[in-house]
Structure 1
């Protein structure tokens, strides 16, 4: 496809994506390797990069290229049409936000997470409370910018599940609630209690890591294109084609937290590793929504990872290691 405006747009987006992925590498390092005293400097690095990405993406030239492409006739199902539609949506959202707010959100997110880790380690919520307050205030400002006088929660929700409305989710919960309450009551009235005390024991961390890596590999995670590390809370980050990283945390008396955490993040990782590398930097090469992303993590953690057939296979390996 030789459409000059589209070629220029894709080149710009891929350059922006490379800059954004650089920030993602720093974000991964922040949550896995960074010494505590480095968080203030890292927050400034992250804020600076966030500002650069925002400045480049909201440049008037991006808007001009979109307008030129929108004035042309294209197959609605083509990669070009899909990319232009989604880039326009993202561009319209981004141009509503001042760069100073984007930088403040990024800076505060890093500082807040550092405070949260310390507060968690010391079981001292007041250490984190001021950062939570500041984060909420900045998110309110962001919502006000994006909402254009509309519902602020909808404006933020649209970032995670495009097109979704709070009212739609409320209706869904209203439909689910009676069935879930009934199910919980049936479980309580059954008298059956899971013998979780049988799982309490000593599980050396190296063995837990080996067990988790084995499970992740068996369900398809490619460790030649990914890593498993330790963090205060499990996460998955997609740094680009061939580099998807997952983390977990360990408890020597209970392997289930780390194990199911790895399966959950592996679900995210499988989705990310399956994205088309040839479309990197464009919406066509990104996850369709965070809701779909979460469905994949829950699929492997719960539907597969808690099934009898899965544990029929995994139990001999658990006994061998533990």
Structure 2
């Protein structure tokens, strides 16, 4: 992972909201400082876990500008710049570059966009003109487009296209992407140690909002190829990472982070807070992590 620009834990950080549903920038700064202190290697701003789809364009751009300024080079910065219009993706990407972001994460065209390989290649070629490293996004269950190994090899020929985040949840499919030699990042929380063993170049990890120190310890152990240590750490993480992947992912991350002292308020509407009957199961799954995770934010 040492030759890749985004190794380790790239935290898909939650976006904190106040009681009125507005972005709470004071709290956002506190969270960033807490996660930096916990050792996270990078941040994904305006991530899916950070409710990108429920932020306006201006809110997302302001969030990226603010976050990058607070981080100030102490960790890498990836900004999600996904949008329906390619012109808007380029606009957001140019803005991220001006803010000092190290790269951008971009969904392929979605909601009745092109599904043929050439259409996907043309889309990312347009985004590449903004001049920032691009991380593509493979989440076929959500957008209806699969980044296959053959497509990934073609995308890697585009200037600035450096990686793909795989959130398919299919380890065999992700391993196939990694075998192309193009850096592949894992985005499926229950697969973390297996993906790292299979050659994932880095992690984009929403569940790490709840247990950043433990997640960083696992990534560092994997980078040093201390697989026995990885296995022991994963025993504590596996129950919660499997639980949140079963449904209500964003709501679960917000609730779990709050339980662990990294509260970001409630998710923004139309998402509701996690149902009360699911809280105890989440709390039980997090219990083995409490001793290691002592939030200071």
Q: Shorter-chain TM-score: which interval?
A: under 0.3
- Provide TM-score, normalisation by structure 1: 0.26
Q: Which has the larger radius of gyration?
A: 1
